[in-house]
Copies of this chain bind each other. A is one copy, B any other.
Amino acid sequence: MKTIDEFTMPYGVVDKIDAFGYLEELKKNPDAPRKHGKILLVTSDTPLKASRGEGKTTATIALIDALRERGIDAAAVLRQPSMGITAAGSKGGASGGGKSSLEHPELADWGLCGEMAAIENAQNLLASFAEKAVDDGLIDTVLVPRVSEVPSRMLRATVVDRGKANVPERTVLTPASELMQIVVLSRSMEEISERVGNMIAGTKDGKAVLFREFVDLWRITNILTDAVKPVKTQTQQGSPVYLHCGPFGNVSLGIPSLVSVEMACSLHDVVVVEAGYGADAGAQKWLDIACREYGAQWPSFAVIVTRATTWRDDPALQWRYPFHVKHLENLDIPTFPLINLWDGEDGEIPELREEAKELGFRTPIIGNLFRDGGEGIADQLDPLIDAIENHPMPSAVHSHKGMSLVENLRWTAEKAYGVPRERVIFKDGFTDSLLSAARLCKSAGFDITELALLAVKSPATMTDDDTAPADERTVTLKKVEPHTGAGVVQVNLTTSLTTPMPKIV
């Protein structure tokens, strides 16, 4: 008979790393030996729909397996998949696939070590304290949303204390919560505590009331003790992978925690950072939020993943993939196309290579990553390895702090979505929403132009209608919501539905 030991395992079959502690130790020992890894940003084409991935995680895993096969010390930093959306049927997991999978993918897909759940509990505790503040007369309107990892359309608008105070509230997805943004962007527990204190709980007579005014912040940070620690696991081929926070680039940041990337950069020569959904979401946020406003390292190179069908099947959308490649190249980031083949598509390779050449791309990396893993692409990596060895470390980039929000939006629409400033349209009510957000910030002691712009949009579109001719595409600005704790201001864009709380299927 098997003994109890055979049924016993260290929890999670993964390690947890006190990244805050380690980064503090690095800071205290500036002369200690360490690596200064370069960042390879993996992002993707804009997907045809939210539920259809291009294979960013699969490609990230294949890439580090292949780079390590080529003798390079590469590691990956992934975002934690959202279990709730997977369970509800809105999206698959995000732990790779086939030969390009994580070890124990089911663990990554189904809640990891409770990190997302802890963040959910902490944000919901803040909502509970806001409700108590209503009871106590400290606020008259609750602004902080409750959160849920599992979606339901009916949670978008709710009422609590039914039959008595009837307080209106709303619920957003846990990965899209301000607290998740805070955990992704903060570099110490003290910074988290400071930022949570700066979150707006609600208003009293129209003026913002911050959580620091009435909540003991240790209650929140204690819940987060373990959630702030990145997970370390590995691919099925044994390559090192760090997982931590941050999915959903459409409605939130879509990037892993800054500390997990910084820690990885001190331990490995190349750190592959996954940012999604497409380049217009996750990559835009890594560049313009993480790097410009939060001191993250600018990518030294990028890989943009697409599927042959995503890139080419819809003539009206064929402009998007080359747009993304050129956009990153224009930022002086050597950008490698990666085409993730499905079964039966091997025959298309010559045509894909030809088309890439015509478009002036670097030589694309092409493979069936599910079937062949990193092995299938290892011999195509010479140009990437050349860039790794020879491209200089990037320098720091300019912040947009102080730029007006509308100006920042116009800049982003032009650079990231290819829509010039004159075709950025204000929806009815946008100006009011902007003014009222600016007033709310001011009443809390914040200047809205000091907050980083965070675009909230459909993951599957960059403009109001991506199928329109280039000179007719527009971007409509809809609504503004400041997150003074996280230091971002969310702006809903385009006429497409966003999914802060999708239907379940």
Contacts and interface: CB of A to CB of B under 8 A. Distances in A.
B152 A162 contact: no
Interface string A148-172: 1111111111111111110110000
Q: Which of A2, A131, A158, A225 has the most CB of B within 10 A?
A: A158
Contact of A121 (B4, B83, B162, B225): B83
14 contacts: A7-B25, A9-B15, A9-B18, A11-B12, A12-B16, A12-B113, A84-B121, A111-B118, A125-B150, A131-B155, A134-B154, A135-B153, A154-B160, A159-B159
Contacts of A153: 131, 135, 161
Interface of A: 1-2, 4, 7-12, 14-19, 21-22, 25-26, 28-29, 32, 83-84, 87-89, 106-107, 110-111, 113-115, 117-118, 120-122, 124-125, 127-129, 131-132, 134-135, 148-165, 167-168, 216, 219-220, 222-223, 225-226, 231-232, 263, 267, 503-504
B168 A152 contact: no
A64 B154 CA distance: 49
Contacts of A124: 148-150
B18 A125 contact: no
Given A117-B120, A161-B154, A11 B22 contact: no
A111 B114 contact: yes
- Count the copies: 2
A348 to B, nearest CB: 35
A25 B11 contact: no
Contacts of A29: 1
Given A9-B15, A25-B7, A125-B88, A168 B158 contact: no
B10 A11 contact: yes
Contact of A9 (B16, B150, B160): B16
Contacts of A219: 87-89
Contacts of A152: 127-128, 131-132, 160
Nearest to A152: B128
Contacts of A155: 128, 131, 160
Contacts of A84: 121, 125
Contact of A25 (B1, B131, B226): B1
Nearest to A227: B111
Given A117-B118, A155-B160, 9 more contacts: A2-B25, A9-B15, A11-B12, A83-B121, A106-B225, A120-B121, A121-B150, A131-B152, A157-B164
Nearest to A120: B117
A110 B225 contact: yes
B163 A157 contact: yes
A22 B9 contact: no
A263 B88 CA distance: 33
Contact of A226 (B7, B28, B111, B148): B111
Given A12-B226, A87-B219, A148-B124, A113 B110 contact: no
A218 to B, nearest CB: 9
The list of the 7 closest CB pairs from A to B, nearest first, reads: A114-B114, A117-B117, A10-B10, A128-B152, A154-B161, A157-B162, A159-B159
A153 B134 CA distance: 12
Contacts of A121: 83-84, 87, 111, 117, 120, 149-150
